[in-house]
């Protein structure tokens, strides 16, 4: 399953901080990144090398496949301190930075109808912009589909 990944520039705006750049996120052709259950929360920004960067934020999106067969909860956290992952997390590269990928099964849904789902967590730090990232993807899609999304994240441009 090889696809072209078109990076989408993600900016956040609010009346206090103005517009700030988060990063360029590769998204599969035909897939849609939609606002999730809440509006993005922008907590802080900072200027580095002439760019106003998101320094602290929480974003919740839905990521839907082109054919509508797969829908994922996709959350992004940015903060001033490094995020933690399990020791068993796999090492990889994201945008030229060392990253850790954790994958595990979780139970999702109301108590009377809980089902297994996959949780993928990717954590890395960007010293150029002095930010730390946590991306989480939750869904019930086949592992190959989720792995394809994680492979795209490795081509993310954070600075």
User: What are the tens digits of pLDDT across the range 38-95?
Assistant: 889 999 999 988 899 999 999 999 998 888 888 899 999 999 999 998 888 999 999 8
What residues contact residue 63 under an 8 Å CB cut-off, 6+ apart?
27, 31, 32, 33, 34, 71, 72, 74, 137, 149
Strand partners, 77: 58, 134
Q: Identify the three-state secondary structure at position 114.
A: coil
The pLDDT confidence band at residue 146, using thresholds 50, 70 and 90, is confident
pTM over 0.75: yes
Cα(106)–Cα(61) distance, integer angstroms: 19
55: left (phi over 0), alpha (psi -120 to 50) or beta: alpha
CA distances from 153 to 23, 96, 101, 119, 137 (A): 11, 11, 11, 15, 11
Say how far apart CA 139 and CA 126 lie, in whole Å: 27
pLDDT of residue 2: 47
- pLDDT above 90 coverage of the chain, percent: 47
95 backbone dihedrals φ, ψ, rounded to 5°: 55, 30
* Mean pLDDT, range 94-116, rounded to an integer: 91
């Amino acid at each position: 399953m090889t696809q072209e990944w078109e990076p989408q520039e993600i900016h956040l705006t609010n009346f206090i901080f103005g517009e700030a750049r988060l990063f360029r996120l590769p998204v599969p052709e035909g897939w849609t990144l939609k606002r999730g259950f809440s509006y993005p929360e922008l907590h802080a920004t900072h200027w580095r090398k002439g760019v106003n960067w998101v320094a602290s934020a929480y974003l919740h999106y839905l990521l839907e496949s082109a054919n509508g067969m797969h829908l994922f909860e996709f959350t992004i956290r940015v903060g001033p301190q490094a995020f933690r992952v399990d020791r068993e997390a796999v090492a990889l590269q994201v945008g030229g930075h060392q990253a850790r990928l954790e994958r595990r099964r979780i139970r999702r849904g109301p108590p009377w109808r809980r089902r297994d789902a996959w949780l993928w967590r990717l954590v890395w730090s960007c010293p150029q912009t002095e930010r730390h990232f946590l991306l989480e993807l939750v869904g019930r899609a086949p592992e190959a589909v989720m792995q394809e999304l994680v492979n795209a994240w490795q081509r993310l441009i954070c600075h």
